[in-house]
Structure formats: structure tokens, C-alpha cells
Amino acid sequence: MTGTFSERMDPATLSTSTVTLVKDGTTTPIKAMISYNASTNKVTLTPETYLDARTKYMAKVSSGVVKDLAGNALTADYSWSFTTRS
């Protein structure tokens, strides 16, 4: 899954502790690789294992830690959810 920022971000602030994926109703992050494309401002989260079918998941980018190139931190967490298909 991919999230797009409105401006270039500091890639050093994008990690598995600041960009997370959890199954709905849980708090344990799913192991995933994080990558950032500076030319498109997109962060991609790639789970290390297949996700369960017909299941809701939530992705979150943490505020206060994730920063743009000027050093400005996100002022609020940003999250989105999706449901996998069968």
C-alpha cells in the first residue's frame, strides 16, 4: 500500500516504527518493508507475508517523528484503512 505526501519528506524519518500496518482491532504491527520515492513523494509499505483475505487493516504515519526536508514534523497522525478481497 502507498501513501502520498504533499511535499518531500526526510526519508530517514520513515521507518517501520513511524509507518505501521495493523489488522483492525489489534495493536501489533505487521512486519513490512518501508520505501520512499522522493520524486513522487510516495511511501510504500510492503508486508513481508500475505494479508488475510476479507480483512480490514489500518496503516498509520506517526506525527512528531516523520518530518519534511525542512525538519517540520507532521502535526497529527495520518491513517487510512482498507479491506482485502478474497
> Is residue 9 very low, low, confident or very high in pLDDT (cuts 50, 70, 90)?
very high
pLDDT value for 21: 96
The domain that holds 73 is classified in CATH as 2.60.40.1220
The DSSP H or E segment spanning 82 is strand 78-83
User: What is the domain extent for residue 77?
Assistant: 2-83
pLDDT in tens, 35-58: 999 999 999 999 999 999 999 999
% of the chain exceeding 90 in pLDDT: 95
Q: How many domains does the chain have?
A: 1
pLDDT in tens, 17-41: 999 999 999 999 999 999 999 999 9
